[in-house]
């Protein structure tokens, strides 16, 4: 574990320098060389010279955590659908839209790549995700291209938002690109409701290493920020069989270590939690309970060291809802909202190891072995050691399926219809 965190400073420097511009150049050149979209990581160039308004909206994440963002988009109702005026009208703002969701489950968690010095490969993975949404190829047939890409993953936004926007510009395609980090920071500013205390950003180690949230929050407010990076929580929520510790215990231990460090440093009292990983809204109640637990704990001297550090009532900011608003504003401003009611339902895809890829490293349950997964390097954008197949409810691990069913009802119905 010590080795895992030893790379944090190196990761921040790597993201800050953006020295690996060849990652973007390679993806741009590859797609341009294959305008028919007939090979991996390419798209049909002609698709983006027509009217894009009735194309679906693409959403991607490192796994299924981004389904929380899709749910927020589906439920979003802050505008009148007929006029676009502010104010809910009882009809979801995206009721006329269709969605294509992709979760790169075989390669998750994205938050760990930077920690082992694989930032370049992570950036390549993120560009491949975008290219999958833009293109038509998938393992079992074809899929529609998309008119917008929502990066429903905080780590992918931190390391790939600029890359995807640069690639889209280089390809000359009018595709809108939205990331959750910028939207989350804006949501924090617009919903402060008088809160002026410290902000605790809960995210993956990779997202924290990127420093994306402190930078984004600093642009909209001067509130102090402290980050809590978990190495295992996102994977545990995904149902990773290698993680044996119960989710509640992971959260309690992470929060305890975080508060101990914050108290020792004399950190500002915390009154707001930023759910900086798309998986975390699924366990928001458990996160709140962990902070409440530690706030009430006494030390050997009978002192409650965290009683003044943690506010009695913590405000939670979920970037998903603000991502939905940013998407609506962008599509509305570009006059790219759908004009024809969709005749087909949403589509969901997930990556799995490619059984035909030579030299692939697998563990007993068929997932990519740790050494293989984190030993790869960039430079092969058309690599197909994983393939993308339809995601249905039966492909979700039991615990994850229960969370999606109980907490994301609109998305659950779409998933069931996609079977």
Q: What is the mean pLDDT of each run of 10 residues along the chain (419 residues)?
A: 31 39 94 96 96 97 92 96 92 96 93 89 97 91 94 93 97 97 92 84 91 94 93 88 93 96 93 93 94 94 94 93 95 96 93 93 91 94 94 84 91 91
Domains and CATH numbers, the chain: 10-179+321-417 (3.40.50.1860), 183-318 (3.40.50.1860)
- With helix as H, strand as E and coil as C, how does the chain read? CHHHHHCHHHHHHHHHHCCCCHHHHHHHHHHHHCCECCCCCCCEHHHHHCCCCCCCEEEEECCCCCHHHHHHHHHCCCECCCCCCECCCCCCCCCCCCEEEEECHHHCCHHHCHHHCCHHHHHHHHHHHHHHHHCCEECCEECCCCCEEEECCHHHHHHHHHHHHHHHHHHCCCCEEEEHHHHHHHHHHHCCCCCCCEEEEEEEHHHHHHCHHHHHHHHHCCCCEEEEEECCHHHHHHCCCCCCCCHHHHHHHHHHHHHHHHHHCCCCCEEEEEECCCCHHHHHHHHHHHHHHHHCCCCCCCCCCCCCCEEEEEEEECHHHHHHHHHHHHHHHCCCCCCCCCCCCCEEEEEEECCCCCCCCECCCCCECHHHHCCCCCCCCCCCCEEEEECCHHHCCHHHHHHHHHHCHHHHHHHHHCC
> Residue 418 has what pLDDT?
87
**Alpha-carbon span 104 to 125, nearest angstrom:** 9
**Alpha-carbon span 181 to 221, nearest angstrom:** 14
Neighbouring-strand partners of residue 99:
57
pTM of the entire predicted model: 0.85
Catalytic amino acids? 153, 277
136: Cβ contacts below 8 Å, ≥ 6 apart: 37, 43, 44, 47, 142, 143, 144, 145
């Amino acid at each position: 574990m010590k080795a895992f965190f030893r790379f944090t400073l190196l990761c921040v420097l790597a993201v800050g320098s953006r020295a690996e511009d060849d990652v973007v150049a390679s993806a741009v050149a590859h797609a341009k060389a294959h305008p028919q979209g007939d090979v991996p990581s390419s798209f049909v160039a002609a698709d983006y010279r027509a009217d894009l308004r009735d194309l679906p909206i693409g959403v991607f994440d490192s796994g299924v955590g981004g389904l929380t963002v899709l749910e927020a988009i589906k439920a979003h109702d802050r505008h009148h659908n007929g006029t676009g005026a502010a104010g809910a009208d009882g009809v979801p703002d995206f009721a006329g839209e269709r969605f294509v969701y992709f979760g790169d489950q075989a390669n998750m968690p994205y938050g760990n790549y930077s920690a082992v010095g694989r930032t370049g490969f992570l950036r390549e993975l993120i560009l491949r995700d975008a290219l999958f949404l833009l293109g038509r190829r998938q393992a079992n047939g074809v899929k529609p291209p998309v008119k917008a890409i929502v990066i429903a993953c905080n780590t992918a936004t931190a390391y790939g938002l600029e890359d995807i926007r640069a690639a889209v510009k280089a390809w000359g395609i009018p595709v809108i690109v939205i990331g959750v980090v910028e939207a989350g920071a804006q949501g924090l500013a617009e919903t402060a409701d008088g809160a002026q205390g410290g902000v605790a950003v809960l995210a993956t180690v990779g997202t924290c290493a990127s420093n994306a949230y402190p930078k984004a929050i600093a642009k909209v407010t001067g509130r102090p920020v402290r980050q809590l990076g978990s190495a295992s929580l996102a994977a545990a929520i995904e149902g990773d069989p290698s993680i044996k510790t119960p989710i509640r215990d992971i959260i309690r231990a992470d929060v305890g270590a975080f508060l101990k460090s914050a108290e020792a440093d004399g950190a500002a009292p915390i009154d707001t939690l930023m759910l900086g990983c798309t998986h975390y809204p699924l366990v928001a109640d458990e996160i709140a309970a962990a902070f409440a637990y530690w706030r009430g704990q006494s030390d050997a001297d009978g002192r409650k060291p965290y009683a003044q550090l943690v506010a009695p009532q913590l405000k939670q900011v979920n970037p998903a809802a603000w991502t939905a608003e940013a998407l609506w504003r962008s599509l509305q401003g570009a006059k790219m909202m759908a004009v024809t009611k969709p005749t087909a339902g949403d589509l969901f895809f997930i990556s799995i190891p490619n059984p035909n890829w030579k030299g692939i490293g697998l563990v007993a349950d068929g997932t990519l072995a740790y050494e293989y997964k984190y030993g790869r390097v960039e430079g092969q954008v058309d690599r197909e050691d994983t393939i993308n197949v339809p995601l249905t409810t039966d492909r979700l691990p039991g615990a994850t399926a229960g969370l999606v069913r109980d907490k994301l009802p609109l998305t659950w119905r779409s998933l069931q219809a996609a079977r």
